[in-house]
Amino acid sequence: MGAGLESLLRDGPVAINLGLRGFAESLESQGGQVVHVDWTPPPEIDAEVADILDKLL
Amino acid sequence: MTSDRKITSDVAVRKNQYYDSVFLMSVASRMQVTPGVTDAAALMGTANNKQMLVEMGFDPGQVGEATPQDLVVALRGKKDAVRVILADLDSWLERKEGALFAASASSWDEARRRQPGSNIAVISVPGRYAARETHAALDASMNVFLFSDHVSVEDELAMKKKASQAGLIVMGPDCGTAIVAGVGIGFANAVRRGPVGVVASSGTGLQEFTTLIHRAGSGISHALGTGGRDLSDAIGGLSTQAALRALERDQGTQAIAVLSKPPGTRTLEALADALADCRKPVVVCLLGLTEAELPRGGFKVARTLDEAASLALQLTGGPLPAPVLPPAAISEVLSREVALVNEGQKYIRGLFAGGSLCYEAQQILRDLALTAHSNAPLPRMPRLADARASFEHTLVDMGADEFTEGRPHPMIDASQRSARIRAEGRDPQVAVLLLDVILGYGVPEDPAGDLVAAIRSARGEAERRGGHLAVVASVCGTDADPQGLEKQEGTLRDAGVILFPSNAQATLAARDLISRIDARRS
Same domain? B464 vs B364? yes
Percent with pLDDT over 90 in chain B: 76
DSSP reduced 3-state for B8: strand
Least confident of A45-54, B183-192, B334-343, B453-462: A45-54
Q: Where a domain ends, among B322, B348, B364? A: B322
pLDDT band of B4, cuts 50, 70, 90: very low
Give chain B positions within 8 Å (CB) of A40: 18, 69
End-to-end CA distance of chain B: 59
**Boundary residue ending a domain (B304, B322, B340):** B322
The closest CB to that of B123, out of A1, A14, A18, belongs to: A18
The domain boundary residue, chosen from B290, B322, B354: B322
Is 70 exceeded by the pLDDT of residue A3?
A: no
Same domain, B502 and B355: yes
Average pLDDT, integer, range B444-462: 96
- With b for 16 or more beta-carbon neighbours within 10 A and e for fewer, the A36-54 pattern comes to bbebbbeeeeeeeeeeeee
CA B239, CA B237: separation in Å to the nearest integer? 6
Per the CB < 8 A criterion, the answer to whether B243 and B167 are in contact is: no
Instruction: Verify that B296 and B342 share a domain, yes or no.
Output: no
User: Angle at the Cα of B353 (from B352 to B359), degrees rounded to 5?
Assistant: 55
Would you state the pLDDT for residue B2?
42
User: Are B228 and B273 contained in the same domain?
Assistant: yes
**Residue B100, domain member (yes or no):** no
**Same domain, yes or no, for B191 and B315?**
yes
Query: How close A54 gets to chain B, by Cα (Å)?
Result: 9
Express each pLDDT in A10-46 by its tens digit.
999 999 999 988 899 999 999 999 999 988 888 766 6
d(CA B179, CA B38) in angstroms, rounded, equals 41
B112 contacts A54? CB cut-off 8 A: no
Write down the ipTM of this complex: 0.87
Please answer whether residues B18 and A41 qualify as being in contact, where contact means their C-beta atoms are separated by less than 8 angstroms.
yes
Pick the closest to residue B151 from B268, B235, B71, B270 (CA basis).
B235
Residues B35 and B160 grouped into a single domain: no
Q: Is the pLDDT of residue B99 over 60?
A: no
Q: Are B53 and B41 in contact (CB under 8 A)?
A: yes
Do B439 and B474 reside in the same domain of the chain? Answer: yes
Report residue B323's pLDDT band, with 50, 70 and 90 as the boundaries: low
Q: Which among A11, A26, A35 is the nearest to B103, CB-wise?
A: A35
Residue B97 has pLDDT above 60, yes or no: no
* Sign of the dihedral through C-alpha B438, B147, B156, B240: negative
Q: What is the CATH number of the domain that holds B373?
A: 3.40.50.261
Buried b (16+ CB within 10 A) or exposed e, B331-343: eebbeebbeebee
**pLDDT given for residue B472 in this prediction:** 98
B7-29, pLDDT tens digit by residue? 899 999 999 888 888 888 889 88
Distance from CA of A7 to the nearest CA of B (A): 8
DSSP B263-303: PPHHHHHHHHHHHHH-SS-EEEEETT--GGGS--SSSEEES
Q: Are residues B130 and B199 in the same domain?
A: no
Over residues B408-419, mean pLDDT: 90
Task: Give the 3-state DSSP-derived string for B355-381, with helices as H, strands as E and coil as C.
Answer: HHHHHHHHHHHHHCCCCCEECCCCCCC
Which of B123-127, B249-253, B377-381 is predicted most confidently? B249-253
Say yes or no: B355 and B489 in one domain. Answer: yes
Quote the number of domains for chain B: 4
Residues in Cβ contact with B306 at an 8 Å cutoff, skipping those fewer than 6 apart: B212, B502, B503, B504, B505
Q: What is the pLDDT of residues B37-88, one digit of tens each?
A: 999 999 988 888 888 888 888 998 888 889 888 999 999 999 999 999 999 9
Tell me if A35 and B249 make a contact (CB, 8 A cut-off). no
Q: Do B81 and B125 fall into the same domain?
A: no
Contact assignment for B129 to A50 by CB distance below 8 Å: no
Q: Does residue B144 sit at the A interface (CB-CB below 8 Å)?
A: no
Taking an 8 Å cut-off on Cβ atoms, the answer to whether A23 and B122 are in contact is yes
Q: What CATH number has the domain bearing residue B164?
A: 3.40.50.720
For the segment B355-382, the average pLDDT, to the nearest whole number, is: 95
Longest dimension (CA), chain A: 42
- Indicate which of A6, A26, A53 best probes the interface with B, i.e. most B CBs within 10 Å of its own CB: A26
Q: In this structure, is residue B101 part of a structural domain?
A: no
Asked whether residue B114 is assigned to any structural domain, the reply reads yes
Q: Give me the mean pLDDT over the B227-255 stretch.
A: 97
Of B439, B344, B438, B347, residue with least CA distance to B395: B347
Does residue B1 carry a pLDDT above 80? no
- On the question of pLDDT at A1 being above 50, the answer is no
Of A3, A11, A23, the CB nearest to B124: A23
Question: In Å, how far is A46's CA from the nearest CA of chain B?
Answer: 12
Q: What strand order describes the sheet that includes B347-352?
A: B373-374, B394-397, B347-352, B430-438, B470-476, B498-500
The predicted pLDDT at position B319 comes to: 76
Give the contacts of B91 (CB within 8 A, at least 6 positions apart): none
Q: Provide the domain limits for residue B269.
A: 179-322
Phi, psi of B21 (to 5 degrees): -65, -35
Q: Please report residues of A whose CB lies closer than 8 A to that of B119.
A: 2-3, 7-8, 11, 13-15
Q: Please tell me whether residues B287 and B360 are part of one structural domain.
A: no
Instruction: Check A25 against B132: CB less than 8 A apart.
Output: no
First to last CA, chain A: 22
| Residue B457: exposure state from Cβ atoms within 10 A (0-12, 13-18, ≥19) | middle
Do residue B129 and residue A11 have CB atoms under 8 angstroms apart? no
Residue B61 lies in a domain: yes
Judge whether B513 lies within some domain. Answer: yes
Residue B313 neighbours by CB under 8 Å, 6+ apart:
B196, B213, B216, B218, B319, B320, B321
Q: Indicate the residue type of B283.
A: V
Same domain, B360 and B495: yes
Mean predicted confidence (pLDDT) in B30-39: 90
